Chains A and B, each alone.
Chain A
Amino acid sequence: MVATSRTLSTRVWPLHLVKPTRGLVDEKLKVIVRNLNPRQEVTLRCVHQDVWEGFGHYISDQHGTVTVAKDASMGGTYKGVEAMGLMWSMQPVPGSRKGLRTLSTRVWPLLLVKPTRGLVDEKLKVIVRNLNPRQEVTLRCVHQSEDKDVWEGFGHYISDQHGTVTVAKDASMGGTYKGVEAMGLMWSMQPVPGSRKGLRLRKKHVLSPMVFHISVFDGHITQGFSQLTALATHAVERWYVAPGVQRVYLQEKGVQGTLFIPPGPGPFPGLLDLWGGGGGLVEYRAALLASHGFVSFALEYLSSEEINAPTTDVKYFEAAYQILKSHAMVQKDRLALFGLSFGSTIALSMAAYSKIIKPRCCVCISGSHVNAVQRTLSETFQEIAKNVSKIRVEDGQVIWRDIILPIPADPSMKIDVGQIKCPVLLVNGSDDQNLATVESAEDMERMMEKAGNRHLLQVLTYPGAGHLIEPPYTPHHRTSNFVIGKDKVLMLWGGQAKPHADAQEDSWEKIVAFLQQHLYFTGSQAKL
């Protein structure tokens, strides 16, 4: 029996006494709750096999005591002074099948989840055993973010003839994902009903894990999970950092950002990690890359007042690159640039023009070479603002992809990618609604073909994927809130959940392999 309070203004330590704890079915139960607050509203609930419930609403007396045999229930499944009301008023919980009689077969399912502590890009193995054969169950994954929003993903399964569900092999028949999806519980996560709109799930404190709870419920449930008791639950930690990864916040020579250093004596290859126009300091991808053996420098270049000075230009990035290059834990000849969105544009620009930045390779996710060259950041933004008429708004969602269309023929409007001397990996989603990345990639190919350096370019284009191609199993956000100056808009990023999830998983594997190939090579493979 559980006594639950509706509002707690003072924490209580109630003592609930039930007697007898084992009785014959025709014996009376004595139920007393003590040490509540005086006049506290409580609910007493009796549940049987997660399917049947009876409950009564009580108010404690001036001593903070509820005595079921003497006090009146004011509501619930029974009213009035009813010593045994909790039992005889029992009924199937909401959402149950109709016309139930008491279940006689109890299952003791064993929920196996592995690993219980993993990196965010590792696959989870989820198996449920010892169900009834052909039992309908729901597997659900729930997470409370640092902002206290609740996210959930769930799938509907039917156990096989042995009473087993194997997520990697069995098909989900409904829920937030369908089909055989080993990681569907993660990537299909969405805010629970009633949440704020336009949310995006992003970890701020990367040295602590994200905690998920994976549960199995009887039946195919689509809502009201928090009112139900699961058959079993596991807690799973997902980390952005491997053990031993160090985090160092840097503020040097006017440059701000966070360095993540892998465990070990080093020195290691390094990379500069550049996020997009959303600004701020985003650390999680750099933390994860450090877990794969790269000193990763997440750079803050938008949003701080000092940084947004009109003169923030190529010198800021060159200074950041120099800091990375000269760091004791970094191999100065094994450096890369890694960008997303506007960060990709910066990466391409540096790779093409900078005398100081000489990366071994570049990874550019969801980026474009269309950018007024050699300007300060604020000049660049002003240039973009000139095209504000090309911004569309549909159903309250802001679409920016047309801003750079058509791809200009004028070379002074584009980064001269023909000057790039290192391998470049472009990763784009065909349904990118924020930036015309696919068209840009095609134009870059043409330019590099003409310049004779086309062999350096590798393009991964993912159908059905949107703009925000993140590390694997991050939930897909087709839209999310975006702040521009003083305005908050709902930005359309594009993509559909399943193809976008596939794109994130596939591209990450290829990105890490690409970085290892070009930064961890042995001497004999030095020639490109």
Chain B
Amino acid sequence: MFTPVLRFTVHRPCPLLSVHPSRCLVDEKFEVLCQHLLPALQVTLHALLQTEDGDYWEAFGHYLSDAVGSVRVSEDASLGGSYSGVEPMGLLWSMRPVPGSKTGLRLRKKDVFKPTDVNISLYEGHLNEGFKDKHPLASVVAQRWYTAPEVQRVEVKEKGLKGTLFIPPGPGPFPAVLDLWGGGGGLVEYRSALLASRGYVSLSLQYIGLTGDDGKPCIVGNDYFEAAFSILKQHPQVCPDRVAMMGLSFGVSVTLGMAAYSSVIKPKCVVCVSGSHVMPVNGSLADVFDEIKKNVKNSRFDEEQRVIWRDLLLPIPDDSSKKVEMGRIKCPVLLIVGEDDQNWPTSESAEDMKQMMKQAGNSHLLTVLSYPETGHLIEPPYSPHIKASNFILHETRNKVVVLWGGHTVPHSRAQEDSWHKTLTFLEQHLYSNDRVASRSNL
């Protein structure tokens, strides 16, 4: 058997790299630990993953081992790299495409039943590039999942709907969430998969970019969402009086509109991420699109030709016929807002919504989480911050680069904080017994 000449002698350090736990849901933390290095050794910890599209994303931090030759990411400060300071999860949220990648990429999981294997490697020295040509001291795999074991996935096609239902394991019945993504269109499943892993039947609904029976693009009306809500309510594994709605971006317009006006949709609570209430009273999605199209001249571009759309709905109208009447909403509302949102005027909208509800006397239902230096795409925790990305306009099929906004560190903190508060909010309103009316921190 061929025996290569070993570079290591008995006196050469034998470093031990470990990640714990090695298998996690994507919203769970891990600990990366290096041991048995020489003391005060410069090392780089590097994380690498390959997406389903074949792109590579990486993050890295520069560390100095302590007096006993250890580096513990949750306690030690990174001295540089894609993140700095004491950042337990910096190796994930600071990821970006490796040099030489295509531009304008976004990291989004398609097959939620396959894990993402993140390779975490330890290199000697403080490196900034050329990782794939260097030989690491050690390497381990951290596996990240969007689904807990035995979460079920069911395609929904009835009543002209297009969506995916995720069902938690167990007999049920469970509370449920109607999950609406934004203007990017398509069917985005990963947030629903994660909600199901946390105990909610979750229906991820496609509602933008659909084609009608004639093959032409169509914009769905309010009855589409009412049908979706009804299907969810009537599902044998769903508690019919514990159904919530969660929307991001355009999904917020739908969520607030339905909560205020629909006689069919009566959510127990709603979560609105990065959205606005500006839309004609009792209007539909088509109305929001029209409003935006009218103002498309208000698009701006930054120094890198990335399009800023936040002005398209500004100024927030004083005319109350042009906004959802927030006073009509009867359920708790959680608003999540990034103050550096360059895509929608979410801060201004949130402020206006607050005023409307104060005047109407239902502001006790409103909770606003407003995050400084945070952009539009507030995703599940530890997802990389996407400041700008490629976007295809639906009708013209033109490709633009959209500026979403935000700065990486505060945006990542916002993702982590808002997700945990979202889960707490959902649990409080969908799982708690009514007698436990006021709860302190969970």
The chain A residues found within 8 Å of chain B, CB to CB, are 21, 105, 107-111, 114-119, 122, 129-130, 132, 162-163, 211, 213, 215, 229-230, 232-237, 239, 242-244, 262-265, 267-269, 291-293, 326-328, 331-334, 516, 519-523, 526
A105-B433, A522-B37 are contacts. A269–B143 as well, Cβ < 8 Å?
no
Query: In the complex, are the beta carbons of B239 and A523 less than 8 A apart?
Result: no
Q: For the complex, what is the distance from the CA of A265 to the CA of B4, rounded to whole Å?
A: 13
Residues of B contacting A264 with CB < 8 Å? 17, 121, 136, 138-140
A117-B149, A232-B170, A519-B14 are contacts. A326–B8 as well, Cβ < 8 Å?
no
Query: In the complex, are the beta carbons of A331 and B14 less than 8 A apart?
Result: yes
- Minimum C-beta distance from A239 to chain B (A): 7
> Quick one: closest A residue to B239, CB to CB?
A108
- Minimum C-beta distance from A169 to chain B (A): 15
Digit string of B194-210 for contact with A (CB within 8 Å is 1, else 0)? 00010100000000000
The chain B residues found within 8 Å of chain A, CB to CB, are 1-4, 6, 8-18, 20-25, 28, 35-38, 69, 115, 117, 121, 135-143, 145, 148-150, 169-171, 175, 197, 199, 234, 239, 242, 427, 430-433, 436, 439, 442
Residues of B contacting A262 with CB < 8 Å? 140
A-B pairs, top 5 by smallest CB distance, nearest first, are: A523-B11, A233-B170, A244-B141, A117-B23, A264-B139
- Minimum C-beta distance from B28 to chain A (A): 7
Residues of A contacting B37 with CB < 8 Å? 522
Q: For the complex, what is the distance from the CA of A162 to the CA of B242, rounded to whole Å?
A: 20
Contact of A235 among B12, B36, B69, B150 (CB under 8 A): B150
- Minimum C-beta distance from B291 to chain A (A): 38
Contact of A243 among B16, B141, B170 (CB under 8 A): B141
Residues of A contacting B148 with CB < 8 Å? 116, 234-235
Q: For the complex, what is the distance from the CA of A291 to the CA of B141, rounded to whole Å?
A: 11
Residues of A contacting B242 with CB < 8 Å? 108
Contact of B1 among A110, A115, A117, A326 (CB under 8 A): A326
Query: In the complex, are the beta carbons of B433 and A116 less than 8 A apart?
Result: no
- Minimum C-beta distance from A292 to chain B (A): 8
Q: A163-B433, A235-B150, A237-B23 are in contact. List 14 more A-B contacts (CB 8 A).
A: A114-B28, A115-B23, A119-B21, A132-B433, A232-B170, A243-B142, A244-B140, A264-B121, A265-B135, A269-B14, A328-B2, A331-B14, A520-B15, A522-B69
A328-B3, A332-B6 are contacts. A265–B11 as well, Cβ < 8 Å?
no
Task: Among A269, A292, A523, find the residue whose CB has the most chain B CB atoms closer than 10 A.
Answer: A523
- Minimum C-beta distance from A350 to chain B (A): 20
- Minimum C-beta distance from B412 to chain A (A): 22
> Quick one: closest B residue to A328, CB to CB?
B4
Residues of B contacting A521 with CB < 8 Å? 14, 36
A117-B145, A264-B138 are contacts. A242–B22 as well, Cβ < 8 Å?
yes
Residues of B contacting A211 with CB < 8 Å? 149
Query: In the complex, are the beta carbons of A115 and B24 less than 8 A apart?
Result: yes
Residues of B contacting A265 with CB < 8 Å? 135-139
Query: In the complex, are the beta carbons of A333 and B10 less than 8 A apart?
Result: yes
Please, could you name 16 A-B residue pairs with CB atoms under 8 Å apart, sorted by A?
A108-B242, A117-B143, A117-B149, A119-B21, A119-B22, A130-B432, A232-B199, A235-B150, A244-B141, A264-B136, A265-B135, A265-B136, A268-B14, A269-B14, A520-B14, A522-B14
Contact of A293 among B16, B150, B169 (CB under 8 A): B16
Residues of A contacting B4 with CB < 8 Å? 328
Contact of B10 among A116, A232, A334 (CB under 8 A): A334
Query: In the complex, are the beta carbons of A239 and B23 less than 8 A apart?
Result: yes
Residues of A contacting B15 with CB < 8 Å? 520
Residues of A contacting B14 with CB < 8 Å? 268-269, 331, 334, 519-522
Residues of A contacting B431 with CB < 8 Å? 108-110, 129-130
Residues of A contacting B69 with CB < 8 Å? 522
- Minimum C-beta distance from A72 to chain B (A): 27
Contact of A129 among B22, B35, B170, B427 (CB under 8 A): B427
> Quick one: closest A residue to B38, CB to CB?
A522
- Minimum C-beta distance from B230 to chain A (A): 12
Query: In the complex, are the beta carbons of A267 and B171 less than 8 A apart?
Result: no
> Quick one: closest B residue to A244, CB to CB?
B141
Query: In the complex, are the beta carbons of B141 and A267 less than 8 A apart?
Result: no
A237-B149, A243-B117, A264-B138 are contacts. A122–B12 as well, Cβ < 8 Å?
no
Residues of B contacting A239 with CB < 8 Å? 23
Q: For the complex, what is the distance from the CA of A291 to the CA of B23, rounded to whole Å?
A: 12
Query: In the complex, are the beta carbons of B175 and A108 less than 8 A apart?
Result: yes
Residues of A contacting B10 with CB < 8 Å? 333-334, 523, 526
Query: In the complex, are the beta carbons of B21 and A115 less than 8 A apart?
Result: yes
- Minimum C-beta distance from A232 to chain B (A): 5
A264-B139, A328-B4 are contacts. A110–B427 as well, Cβ < 8 Å?
yes
- Minimum C-beta distance from A230 to chain B (A): 6
Q: For the complex, what is the distance from the CA of A467 to the CA of B439, rounded to whole Å?
A: 49
Q: For the complex, what is the distance from the CA of A263 to the CA of B37, rounded to whole Å?
A: 18
Query: In the complex, are the beta carbons of B36 and A520 less than 8 A apart?
Result: yes
Q: For the complex, what is the distance from the CA of A508 to the CA of B121, rounded to whole Å?
A: 27
Query: In the complex, are the beta carbons of A235 and B169 less than 8 A apart?
Result: yes
- Minimum C-beta distance from B199 to chain A (A): 6
Residues of A contacting B143 with CB < 8 Å? 117, 243
Query: In the complex, are the beta carbons of B140 and A242 less than 8 A apart?
Result: yes
A108-B433, A516-B16 are contacts. A526–B11 as well, Cβ < 8 Å?
yes
Residues of A contacting B175 with CB < 8 Å? 108
Q: For the complex, what is the distance from the CA of A58 to the CA of B189, rounded to whole Å?
A: 42
Residues of A contacting B138 with CB < 8 Å? 264-265
Q: For the complex, what is the distance from the CA of A48 to the CA of B220, rounded to whole Å?
A: 39
- Minimum C-beta distance from B297 to chain A (A): 49
- Minimum C-beta distance from A295 to chain B (A): 12
Q: For the complex, what is the distance from the CA of A263 to the CA of B175, rounded to whole Å?
A: 41
A115-B24, A235-B150 are contacts. A263–B139 as well, Cβ < 8 Å?
yes
Task: Among A115, A215, A326, find the residue whose CB has the most chain B CB atoms closer than 10 A.
Answer: A115
Residues of A contacting B239 with CB < 8 Å? 108
Residues of B contacting A114 with CB < 8 Å? 28
Query: In the complex, are the beta carbons of A122 and B21 less than 8 A apart?
Result: yes
Q: For the complex, what is the distance from the CA of A333 to the CA of B12, rounded to whole Å?
A: 11
> Quick one: closest A residue to B24, CB to CB?
A115
Residues of A contacting B149 with CB < 8 Å? 116-117, 211, 235-237
Q: For the complex, what is the distance from the CA of A408 to the CA of B38, rounded to whole Å?
A: 47
- Minimum C-beta distance from B303 to chain A (A): 43
A234-B169, A235-B169 are contacts. A162–B25 as well, Cβ < 8 Å?
no
- Minimum C-beta distance from B438 to chain A (A): 12
Q: For the complex, what is the distance from the CA of A262 to the CA of B20, rounded to whole Å?
A: 15
- Minimum C-beta distance from A250 to chain B (A): 11
- Minimum C-beta distance from A518 to chain B (A): 11
Residues of A contacting B169 with CB < 8 Å? 213, 233-235
> Quick one: closest B residue to A21, CB to CB?
B234
- Minimum C-beta distance from B169 to chain A (A): 5
Query: In the complex, are the beta carbons of A522 and B171 less than 8 A apart?
Result: no
Query: In the complex, are the beta carbons of B139 and A163 less than 8 A apart?
Result: no
A130-B432, A211-B149, A326-B1 are contacts. A263–B141 as well, Cβ < 8 Å?
yes
Q: For the complex, what is the distance from the CA of A110 to the CA of B432, rounded to whole Å?
A: 9
- Minimum C-beta distance from A275 to chain B (A): 25
Q: For the complex, what is the distance from the CA of A129 to the CA of B442, rounded to whole Å?
A: 10
Residues of B contacting A105 with CB < 8 Å? 433
Q: For the complex, what is the distance from the CA of A131 to the CA of B24, rounded to whole Å?
A: 27
> Quick one: closest B residue to A109, CB to CB?
B431
- Minimum C-beta distance from A454 to chain B (A): 25
Q: For the complex, what is the distance from the CA of A326 to the CA of B5, rounded to whole Å?
A: 11
- Minimum C-beta distance from B123 to chain A (A): 11
Q: For the complex, what is the distance from the CA of A215 to the CA of B169, rounded to whole Å?
A: 10
- Minimum C-beta distance from B233 to chain A (A): 10
Q: For the complex, what is the distance from the CA of A519 to the CA of B150, rounded to whole Å?
A: 39
Q: For the complex, what is the distance from the CA of A109 to the CA of B18, rounded to whole Å?
A: 35
> Quick one: closest B residue to A118, CB to CB?
B21
Q: For the complex, what is the distance from the CA of A234 to the CA of B8, rounded to whole Å?
A: 46
Q: For the complex, what is the distance from the CA of A119 to the CA of B23, rounded to whole Å?
A: 9
Residues of A contacting B115 with CB < 8 Å? 243
> Quick one: closest B residue to A117, CB to CB?
B23
Query: In the complex, are the beta carbons of A243 and B433 less than 8 A apart?
Result: no
